[in-house]
């Protein structure tokens, strides 16, 4: 084997090889193997190999329609999300007006809502007996609700609402990376605003927009909560898989799983190559980005007002959730707005073991998953970036694989693989334990956490570690005393993402939970089924607060570390 580079050019001993092998095998076992089991399962009949399930899939119009629905819903989600997120980002990044900072921060609020919570918040607001629905109905004096939150349109609306944030945040970050002088250069060459936007701003943002499109498309393909709660008869691939599994049609469920993964991968490959192909980073930044003051008197009032109203609409679901959580059980029937408010629901949440249990479950499982994901990300970072081991591209690719696999696919793969005991084949019975949920959560967040930690690794100056080595620090001491502390901001970013995702996870949970291991999201669903809206909303608010807390803590901490470093 050729010498491994990097890391102060040290020789790698047998222990290092063992470490590499262990990471490799574990990743393969957790990430790739379950998918292979599903692939094999989709081809297995009662009597050996068969294409019977595939034939059934392609022979059923409703199956093909569901697949096609997944694709077009996702494409439209990308479009609508971009139409909301990009203009918002441009508004807040390029113009100066009163309230810009506050409104700009509020515009990212939908990230605080885990998918299922977002769906129910919107349900409380615009559903058949939602607050906005009732207000409009009363105002217009209608017999029946003015609209129905139902089917493809409803799914699209919820998707656009929860995913425009990707475009918003990506575009803000993309603009921050550009040298603001290029816009001035365009102006000095006679280009007006529209021409500057079309010829300069937009082309420079294409890699950024490709990245946001990719993320939005994959998230939408994987989306389960919105179609599950709002779809009604309208089926997409994720709900299809869930139903097949529920009805015990495992062969069909596996074919559907394979098809959804295949289509997702088909989109992922070309788009991700395009994303990586061009990246425009400004050479040494000039002045801080100049924000244009809003000039005319009309715009000076209109722009903040419009921005304020837009942002108000965006945080209306949060407010609704809060409102509903304060409504005592059974007190709100036909009135437009709830007649009574109390903290009853919250008190109940924490006073009964039955209602408190999901909170503990979610916190524990999300923490465990975060720990595992960060550990794997660090191990892969060390191997790929520092030691530059052979096969590093494969290792890195394995970290990213779960990204292409919707949560439902992952859950089905895990449920299938770990429902039998075949220790010689690396299969154990994990179904029914909390570990399978932890594993699902960890795998789901592995791509994002891995990305954050690897980016941190790549920014590390290698001479850091060389300096430690020259001072006589051994490899593990260097890792513990120098590398990991320097990586803390990246770890905080990756860990907060992992924790937050695990906390609100619903898609994989609904396939894998038992009564004992049920997380908050499943409990929310149960409360909704019991028509205890207040309790469901209280759980929702609790999640929202926990998510906000995790993000704020991580952010504070990252900024603190940065301040210390500079």
Which residues of this protein are in contact with another protein, per CB under 8 A? 179, 181-182, 184-192, 195, 199-200, 203-204, 206, 278, 280, 282-287, 290
Q: How far is the CB of 217 from another protein (least distance, A)?
A: 23
Q: How far is the CB of 125 from another protein (least distance, A)?
A: 41
Query: Is 167 buried (19+), middle (13-18) or exposed (0-12) by CB count in 10 A?
Result: buried
d(CA 536, CA 523): 8
Q: How far is the CB of 282 from another protein (least distance, A)?
A: 7
Q: How far is the CB of 553 from another protein (least distance, A)?
A: 32
CA dihedral 342, 345, 351, 355 (to 10 degrees): 180
Q: How far is the CB of 41 from another protein (least distance, A)?
A: 47
Q: Which CB atom, from 18 or from 185, has the smaller least distance to another protein?
A: 185
Q: Which CB atom, from 278 or from 516, has the smaller least distance to another protein?
A: 278
Q: How far is the CB of 191 from another protein (least distance, A)?
A: 6
Q: Which CB atom, from 196 or from 478, has the smaller least distance to another protein?
A: 196
Q: Which CB atom, from 203 or from 560, has the smaller least distance to another protein?
A: 203
Question: Is 316:130 a contact under the CB 8 Å cutoff?
Answer: no
Query: Is 151 buried (19+), middle (13-18) or exposed (0-12) by CB count in 10 A?
Result: middle
Residue 177's Cβ-side half-sphere holds a number of Cα atoms within 13 Å equal to: 14
Q: Which CB atom, from 50 or from 282, has the smaller least distance to another protein?
A: 282
Sign of CA dihedral 520, 350, 499, 416: negative
Angle ∠(551,557,562) on CA atoms, nearest 5:
125
Give CB contacts under 8 A, 24+ apart, made by 522-529.
Answer: 522/358, 523/355, 523/358, 524/116, 524/117, 524/120, 525/116, 528/120
Q: Which CB atom, from 118 or from 207, has the smaller least distance to another protein?
A: 207
Q: How far is the CB of 281 from another protein (least distance, A)?
A: 8
DSSP calls for 435-493: HHHHHHHHHHHHHHHHHHHHHHHHHS-HHHHHHHHHTT--HHHHIIIIIHHHHHHHHHH
Q: How far is the CB of 91 from another protein (least distance, A)?
A: 20
Q: Which CB atom, from 52 or from 285, has the smaller least distance to another protein?
A: 285
Q: Which CB atom, from 273 or from 278, has the smaller least distance to another protein?
A: 278
Q: How far is the CB of 201 from another protein (least distance, A)?
A: 11
Q: How far is the CB of 317 from another protein (least distance, A)?
A: 38
Q: How far is the CB of 566 from another protein (least distance, A)?
A: 21
d(CA 505, CA 441): 7
Q: Which CB atom, from 47 or from 287, has the smaller least distance to another protein?
A: 287
Count helices and strands (H / E) in the chain.
26, 4
Q: Which CB atom, from 248 or from 284, has the smaller least distance to another protein?
A: 284
Structure-token match 């609100």, residue found: 504
Q: Which helix (H) or strand (E) holds 292?
A: strand 292-293
Tokens of 199: 């010829």
Pairing between β-strand 48-49 and β-strand 44-45 as defined by DSSP bridges: antiparallel
Packing angle of the helix pair 353-381, 392-404 (nearest 10 deg): 150
Closest among 450, 435, 418 to 368, alpha carbons compared: 435
Q: Which CB atom, from 205 or from 373, has the smaller least distance to another protein?
A: 205
What count of other Cβ atoms lies within 10 Å of the Cβ of residue 507? Answer: 25
Q: 422 pairs with which residues across the strands?
A: 427
């Amino acid at each position: 084997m050729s010498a491994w580079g990097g890391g102060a050019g040290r020789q790698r001993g047998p222990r290092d090889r063992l470490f590499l092998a262990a990471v490799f095998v574990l990743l393969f076992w957790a990430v790739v193997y379950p998918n292979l089991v599903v692939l094999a399962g989709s081809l297995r009949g009662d009597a050996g190999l068969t294409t019977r399930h595939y034939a059934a899939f392609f022979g059923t119009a409703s199956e093909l329609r569901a697949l096609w629905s997944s694709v077009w819903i996702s494409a439209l989600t990308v479009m609508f999300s971009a139409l909301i997120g990009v203009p918002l980002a441009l508004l807040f990044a390029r113009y100066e007006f009163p309230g810009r900072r506050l409104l700009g921060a509020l515009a990212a609020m939908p990230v605080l809502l885990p998918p299922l919570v977002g769906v129910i918040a919107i349900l409380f607001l615009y559903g058949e007996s939602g607050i906005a629905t009732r207000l409009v109905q009363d105002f217009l004096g209608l017999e029946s609700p003015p609209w129905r939150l139902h089917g493809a349109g409803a799914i699209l609306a919820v998707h656009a609402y929860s995913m425009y944030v990707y475009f918003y945040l990506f575009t803000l970050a993309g603009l921050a990376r550009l040298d603001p002088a290029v816009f001035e250069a365009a102006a000095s060459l006679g280009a007006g605003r529209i021409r500057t936007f079309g010829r300069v701003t937009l082309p420079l943002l294409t890699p950024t927009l490709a990245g946001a499109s990719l993320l939005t498309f994959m998230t939408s393909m994987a989306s389960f909560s919105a179609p599950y709660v709002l779809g009604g008869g309208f089926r997409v691939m994720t709900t299809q898989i869930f139903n097949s599994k529920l009805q015990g049609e495992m062969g069909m469920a596996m074919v559907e799983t394979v098809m959804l993964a295949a289509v997702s991968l088909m989109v992922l490959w070309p788009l991700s190559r395009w994303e990586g192909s061009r990246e425009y980073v400004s050479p040494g930044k000039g002045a801080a980005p100049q924000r244009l003051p809003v000039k005319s008197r009309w715009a000076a009032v209109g722009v903040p007002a419009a921005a304020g109203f837009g942002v108000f609409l965006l945080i209306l679901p949060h407010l609704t959730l809060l409102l509903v959580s304060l409504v005592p059980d059974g007190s709100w029937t036909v009135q437009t707005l709830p007649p009574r408010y109390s903290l009853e629901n919250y008190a109940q949440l924490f006073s009964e073991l039955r209602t408190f249990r999901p909170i503990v479950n979610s916190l524990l499982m999300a923490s465990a998953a975060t720990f595992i994901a960060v550990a794997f990300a660090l191990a892969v970072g060390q191997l790929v970036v520092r030691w530059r081991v052979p096969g590093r591209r494969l290792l890195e690719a394995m970290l990213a694989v779960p990204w292409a696999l919707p949560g439902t696919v992952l859950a089905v793969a895990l449920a299938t693989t770990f429902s039998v005991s075949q220790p010689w084949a690396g299969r154990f019975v994990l179904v029914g334990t909390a570990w399978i949920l932890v594993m699902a959560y960890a795998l789901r967040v592995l791509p994002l956490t891995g990305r954050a930690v690897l980016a941190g690794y790549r920014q590390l100056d290698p001479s850091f570690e060389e300096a430690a080595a020259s001072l006589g620090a051994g490899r593990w001491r260097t890792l513990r005393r120098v590398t990991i502390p320097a990586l803390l901001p990246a770890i905080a970013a990756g860990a907060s993402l992992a924790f937050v995702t695990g906390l609100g996870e619903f898609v994989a949970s609904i396939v894998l939970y038992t009564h004992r291991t049920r997380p908050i999201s499943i409990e929310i669903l149960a409360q909704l089924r019991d028509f205890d809206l207040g309790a469901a909303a209280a759980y929702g608010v609790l999640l929202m607060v926990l998510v906000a807390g995790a993000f704020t803590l991580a952010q504070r901490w990252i900024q603190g570390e940065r301040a210390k470093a500079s």
